[in-house]
Amino acid sequence: MSPANTIPEMFEIVDEAGKVIGVAPRRQCHGTPALIHRSVHIIVISRDGRILLQKRSADKDIQPGKWDTAVGGHLRPGEDYEAAARRELNEEIGLPASTPLQAAFTLKVRNTIESENVQVFLAISDGPFQRQASEIDELRFWTWPEIDAALPTAVFTPILAQELVKLRGWPTHLAVPQSPT
């Protein structure tokens, strides 16, 4: 929660078609499923096909301590999905905003806590990474066998579990232009 003397984080509210229809504070969006807001996730894949995941901070308001997509965040008012993805990539794991990204798929998340339209991007990178300590407790690469073994144990956020199902079979070696090493 923000200190009383700061302005609360604001999210644009959209209708089912994705048209902006207003703004609301984060705390209201997370708790009022009627307020659809937008977010981005970036799935980071190593050159050898492992998936980078973040362990969410124990202080997060939603899904604390769970493993999640390497990068995730909300759009600021007036920001588009790609600009938000590039900003979050740099803020959360220290990759340059110029890192090649590929729009992969969208998810419409609707649950008892919130409603989000999520644009998922892919990036290929082996690092180095600099985690945002206030948001992320740990970063590590996972192999598909490790992911398959962990899926039934509820260590992943529900949204990550959905993303992993969609990601399986994606031609990751072709999906994203490679950054020079």
Over the chain (181 residues), the average pLDDT of each successive run of 10 is 67 95 93 95 95 94 92 96 97 96 94 93 96 95 94 91 83 44 39
User: What's the pLDDT at 77?
Assistant: 96
User: What's the pLDDT at 171?
Assistant: 54
**3-class secondary structure, 145:** helix
CB atoms within 10 A of CB 76: 14
User: What's the pLDDT at 178?
Assistant: 41
User: What's the pLDDT at 86?
Assistant: 97
User: What's the pLDDT at 7?
Assistant: 82
Domains of the chain from N-terminus onward? 10-167 (3.90.79.10)
Name 38's bridge partners: 117
Q: What type of residue sits at position 106?
A: T
8 Å CB contact between 27 and 116: no
In angstroms, rounded to a whole number, what is the distance separating the alpha carbons of residues 68 and 35?
A: 23
**3-class secondary structure, 166:** helix
User: What's the pLDDT at 177?
Assistant: 41
Q: What type of residue sits at position 132?
A: Q
